[in-house]
Amino acid sequence: MDQISNMIIMMKNASLANRPTITLPYSKMKDAIAACLKKEGYISSFSKKTKKGFPVLEVELMYIDEAPRIKDVERVSKQSRRVYVGVNDIKPVKNGFGLLVLSTPKGIIGGKEAKKEMVGGEALFKIW
């Protein structure tokens, strides 16, 4: 099962159901994605905790005037088909209202920051 797809779909479904937090199995990749989403303003906070002896990632979702900040997500690169973009191929998502999350040599970063850093990489997902 694709853990990144599972994470972003759980965040979307929980935000549309007005849930305040979600709990996910912990991994370094999910931690880096959560850090990127927090920096870009899509989640309020996240923390690593232990439940029943296993590490979990607890994510607090963000709402603006009781409307969810995460309305929809789209997985770009899948396990069966990886999609890589160069710095010149990074386009705005939803006319700049969305975010393209990339896995680059400089870590997990958003599309605008990747253009600023002049680095391309694997396009993980789009969120708006």
Please name each of the domains of the chain with its CATH number.
3-127 (3.30.1490.10)
Average pLDDT over residues 26-30: 97
Query: Is the pLDDT at 128 greater than 90, yes or no?
Result: yes
Q: 98-121 pLDDT, tens per residue?
A: 999 999 999 999 999 999 999 999
Cα(62)–Cα(15) distance, rounded to whole angstroms? 8
Best CA proximity match to 47, nearest among 65, 24, 72 = 24
Q: 53-68 pLDDT, tens per residue?
A: 999 999 999 999 999 9
Please report which confidence band the pLDDT of residue 1 belongs to, taking 50, 70 and 90 as the band edges: confident
Work out the number of other CB atoms within 10 angstroms of the CB of residue 79.
Answer: 11
Q: At what angle do helices 3-16 and 28-40 cross, to 10 degrees?
A: 40
Contacts of 68 (CB under 8 A, 6+ apart): 15, 16, 18, 61, 62
Question: pTM, whole model, 2 decimals?
Answer: 0.93
Average pLDDT over residues 61-79: 95
